[in-house]
Structure 1
Amino acid sequence: MVFGWWSLAVFMSLGVVLECLHALEVSEYLANETRRMMWRLAHAHGTLLGLLNIAFALSADRVQQGRLKLASRLLLVGTVLLPGGFFAGGVTTYDSDPGPGVWLVPVGAIAALSAVVITAFVTGKNSSD
């Protein structure tokens, strides 16, 4: 659960930094639409995945131990790679195209989605709801 809270803190802080860059009219940020989009996506996805990590930790007692470790690792990988890829894609841009870091996004998305599917499947089997 600690990782989820720290992820939430980091990506919410990124949102504050982005708002400051916008308020201070920093041209390196405002003049590049691709960079702004990539960094906003990093902030949004990172915050959401931080919340998802917290929810996962709260439901971990309902997941089989073997599946728990796999789902947890996949979620950690997804939480780092998905927003990290968006952020890296915005660091260096080529006209309207993001940088090569954006290739981390699909890997992170597949990892996070796999963690969610595994958790949903296993908790559904164990639940009497």
Structure 2
Amino acid sequence: MSELNPNSVCRRHMVFGWWSLAVFMSLGVVLECLHALEVSEYLANETRRMMWRLAHAHGTLLGLLNIAFALSADRVQQGRLKLASRLLLVGTVLLPGGFFAGGVTTYDSDPGPGVWLVPVGAIAALSAVVITAFVTGKNSSD
């Protein structure tokens, strides 16, 4: 099996993280505009507002987490780098994506079926963090 280039992983997560920040911060601006313009489709549905706010907040946080991963990827053991990288990318898409999709269609006070992506994304992101924390600590020479 060929080794993964840590520099390409760093670059991938740096670019993905900054674009995630741009997208999810823009979502926050759009949500503020919907609120300011008193758009009833947004304001009248508490479930939709909550789901979309959660998408904005989690997406922004995961964008920052990708940047942090990019800065520490060279400290992750080669064997775990590919797994942690993929899990973090999957989590960054599915967790906020599930919240957003869950708010597109709502049923009374229940989110739509897209919300089922949230736990999958959360487990993927958390797994990436745990793997990175564990193997980064093992590589410490201090």
TM-score of the pair, normalised by structure 2:
0.90
Structure 1 unaligned blocks of 5 or more? none
Aligned to 1:69: 82
Residue 128 (structure 1) shift:
2.6
CA displacement, residues 69-95 of structure 1 (integer Å, 9 cap, x when unaligned) = 100000000000000000000000000
Sequence identity percentage: 100
1:48 aligns with 61
C-alpha distance in 2, partners of 1:3/1:56? 11
Measured after TM superposition, the shift of residue 120 of structure 1 is 0.2
Q: Which moved more, 1:59-68 or 1:79-88?
A: 59-68
Q: Provide Cα deviations, 1:23-45, integer angstroms capped at 9, x if missing partner.
A: 00000000000000000000000
User: Distance between the aligned counterparts of 1:14 and 1:97, measured in 2?
Assistant: 22
Deviation string, structure 1 residues 37-63 (Cα, Å, up to 9, x no partner): 000000000000000000000000100
Aligned to 1:35: 48
CA–CA separation in structure 2 for the residues paired with 1:6 and 1:66: 27
Residues 76-127 of structure 1 show CA distances to partners (whole Å, capped at 9, x for unaligned) of 0000000000000000000000000000000000000000000000000001
Q: How many Å separate the matches in 2 of 1:120 and 1:13?
A: 30
Partners of 1:60 and 1:11 lie apart in 2 by 23
Q: RMSD value over aligned CA atoms?
A: 0.5
Q: Distance in 2 between matches of 1:66 and 1:90?
A: 38
Q: Flag structure 2 segments of 5+ consecutive residues without an equivalent.
A: 1-13
How many residue pairs align between the two structures? 129
Question: If the length of structure 1 is used for normalisation, what is the TM-score?
Answer: 0.99
Give, in whole Å, the separation in 2 of the partners of 1:38 and 1:74.
Answer: 23
SS at match of 1:128: coil
List 4+ stretches of structure 1 deviating above 3 A.
none
